[in-house]
Structure 1
């Protein structure tokens, strides 16, 4: 996709500004969302909005030349699942380092939401998104980290994220003055910073993930794909992933229900992001592969 189309999709949508203003207004009015309700929202929105943005990966892979026939599709899916399974095995073996690596590659991946800008300009935004909750809501973030990596690892990972948060926030704000940054993007990033400061971590994550990252990537991925295949493919692979998530939830019996949901959602996102991010980066470098 051309950078012009990418920019149009990325900066003209009013979904995020509207949702951010609504959420910031609710916080200003001291409307509280119970932790249990936040977890329910996490499960519902991650399933309904988050999962479909990666469900088009088989079609994206075909457009990138990774498969052409049914046999190629099977090989691609097996490789995709193998990468996710390897990530899960590593997570079980070393959850602390894996959580830190997940946060770091998520920062890079999230910066791709503004891919039409140079990496040095957009990377601070990606870093800020993953690190800001640790700075502004350390106790809640420590709890979530402990669910994902254990209590011992949670402490040092929290400190690493806190050290990243302030420089990345400063870099993000400094980038607002660059002449290539549009007024719409300035508003978007200012709202992101404001939401990170006042919104609990789960609500901030849902705001960003469900109104910027997932819809934006879904639109980008769908552009140029056969329309008749987009919806069936997205539904099929979303339902398959949800089925796996429900199975995993049924097997996690040592944690309270809400904590189990948080663990499954974020570990699931972590392991699926490995093949997803590799595919996204591969699909965005056609010239390096000799594709016109």
Structure 2
């Protein structure tokens, strides 16, 4: 049980300290609750999945504000948030514009970035095969298990016509399947088959549930906790984030700002409420993914390269 009393689990390949874990029963209860929404009619089902993603998934990215405070306040003082947020929001805005100008290209780029982002967050392994196998699962399984439903979601998100997944999406999903098989074979040969348990369970979730519901379970039960755990255990970047409770509290300001910006963008989207919220949420996540990944890369490089008068971390 962690000190914050919240939900946090680590990736199978990198066990977390006991102080950052909660009983797996809480994870299963949350997953079961979200899975139960698959029984709702399509419109409420989509709305519920999206609200779960927004309420329980968005705050993990909002921790970027706290990490920026730690990194930038010593050098920029009171204007640290302006220094952080200006390029962050400009990049996000460019992605939102790209959805309108080149929706298919933006969707392809979003998929590629998401695969790498998901995979690298869930494992400390430098193996490209493992990163692609883990990171591609939420998209690859959705396409292979529910092609028509998944294509419908992506068509709504990108405002394009897509009765079936296009060739590039099939190619990417089959390529993921190859990487997943290769990684599974390596794990079996190395006697580390236990690393396949969590991905195997997740694959079953995507087989059994509608794609957006399955993605909501993945996003709030695996991806967001993996990122939060990494922040909690990294004393070089988030010194005030020491448990789930502090992570939630410190993410609130940027989470609130994100919701306000989302509400401001709502009038720019049209259609039924479920389709409108789907486009806004996923396009918004895509817009935030680019600056989030670049910010993470900058932080990692900053920690690895010692500043004058500082020792490099071992």
Distance 1:137 1:173, change over 3 A: same
- Asked if residue 165 in structure 1 is aligned to residue 179 in structure 2, the reply is no
- C-alpha separation between the residues in 2 aligned to 1:16 and 1:172? 28
Give CA deviations for 1:240-287 in whole Å, capped at 9, x if unaligned.
1112222322443x3111100100110010001111111123333456
Partner of 2:285: 269
Task: Tell me the CA shift for residue 139 of structure 1.
Answer: 1.5
- Asked if residue 174 in structure 1 is aligned to residue 191 in structure 2, the reply is no
Give the one of 73, 76, 87 matched to 1:79. Answer: 87
Partner of 1:142: 151
- C-alpha separation between the residues in 2 aligned to 1:245 and 1:120? 35
Distance 1:4 1:186, change over 3 A: closer
- Structure with bigger helix share is 1
Partner of 2:276: 260
Alignment of 1:191-270 (within 5 A): 191-223=201-233, 224=235, 225-227=239-241, 230-252=247-269, 254-270=270-286
TM-score (norm 2): 0.78
Alignment of 1:50-89 (within 5 A): 50-63=57-70, 65-68=71-74, 69-89=77-97
Task: Tell me the CA shift for residue 209 of structure 1.
Answer: 0.4
5+ unaligned residues in a row in structure 1: which ranges?
none
Alpha carbons 1:125, 1:169 under 8 Å: kept:
no
Runs of 4+ in 1 over 6 A off after TM superposition: 3-6, 10-13, 23-27
5+ unaligned residues in a row in structure 2: which ranges?
1-9, 307-311
Partner of 1:283: 299
Give the one of 32, 44, 47 matched to 2:51. Answer: 44
Distance 1:284 1:276, change over 3 A: same
Alpha carbons 1:135, 1:161 under 8 Å: kept:
no
- C-alpha separation between the residues in 2 aligned to 1:19 and 1:176? 28
Partner of 1:127: 136
Alpha carbons 2:69, 2:80 under 8 Å: kept:
no
Distance 1:40 1:207, change over 3 A: same
TM-score (norm 1): 0.83
